[in-house]
Amino acid sequence: MHKQKTVLRKKISVPLSTEPENPRRIIVIMAGGRGERFWPQSRTARPKHLLPIVGDETLLNQTVKRLENIVPLEDIFIITNALQENAVRESCTSIRKENIIIEPVGRDTGAAVALAGVIAKRVHAGATLALLPADHVIKDKLGFKKTIEAAFEAAESGDYLVTVSIPPTHPETGFGYIERGTVHNDYGKAPVYNVKRFVEKPELKKAKEYVKTGTFYWNGGMFVWSVKSIENALKLHAPELHKCFTKLEKDLEGDKSFQDVITRHYGSLPKLSIDYAVMEKAKNVLTVPALFDWDDVGSWTALMRHFPHDKNGNVVRGNAIVEAGKNNIVMSNGGHLVTVLGVEGLVVVHTKDATLVCTMEKAQEIKTLLKRIAEHPEGKSTL
pLDDT per residue as tens digits for the range 99-140: 999 998 888 899 999 999 999 998 998 999 999 999 999 999
CA 307 to chain centre: 22
Question: Would you say residue 8 has pLDDT above 80?
Answer: no
Q: Which pLDDT score is estimated for 12?
A: 35
Q: What is the pLDDT of residues 334-357, one digit of tens each?
A: 788 999 999 999 999 999 999 999
CA 354 to chain centre: 27
Residue 256 has a pLDDT of 73
Cβ-based neighbours of 18, under 8 Å, separated by 6 or more: 125, 126
For the stretch 209-246, pLDDT in tens is 999 999 999 999 999 999 999 999 999 999 999 998 89
At residue 193, the pLDDT reads 97
pLDDT tens digits, 43-91:
988 999 999 999 889 999 999 999 999 999 999 999 999 999 999 999 9
The listed range with the strongest mean pLDDT (3-7, 358-362, 374-378, 379-383) is 358-362
Encode pLDDT of 171-187 as tens digits: 999 899 999 999 999 88
Q: Are 273 and 108 in contact (CB under 8 A)?
A: yes
Percent of the chain with pLDDT over 90: 74
Q: How confident is the model at residue 362 (pLDDT cuts 50, 70, 90)?
A: very high
DSSP string, 129-142: EEEEES--B---HH
Domain spanning 4-289: which CATH class is it, in words? alpha beta
Report whether pLDDT(332) > 60: yes
Alpha helices in 157-238 (DSSP H): 204-213, 227-237
What residues have CB less than 8 Å from 240, skipping those under 6 apart? 269, 270, 272
Residue 164 is predicted with a pLDDT of: 98
Is residue 151 within 8 Å of 162, Cβ to Cβ? Answer: yes
For range 146-151, the mean pLDDT: 96
Please report which confidence band the pLDDT of residue 281 belongs to, taking 50, 70 and 90 as the band edges: very high
Which sequence spans correspond to the domains of the chain? 4-289, 300-382
Cα–Cα distance for residue pair 82/231, rounded to 1 Å? 27
> What pLDDT is recorded for position 107?
86
Alpha-carbon 133 to chain mean position: 1
DSSP-derived secondary structure letter, 73? G
Model's pTM, two decimal places?
0.89
**Length, in residues, of the chain:** 383
Quick check: 18 pLDDT over 60? no
- For residues 370 and 383, the answer to whether their CB atoms sit within 8 Å is yes
pLDDT on residue 198 = 96
Q: How many Å apart are CA 213 and CA 323, to the nearest integer?
A: 44
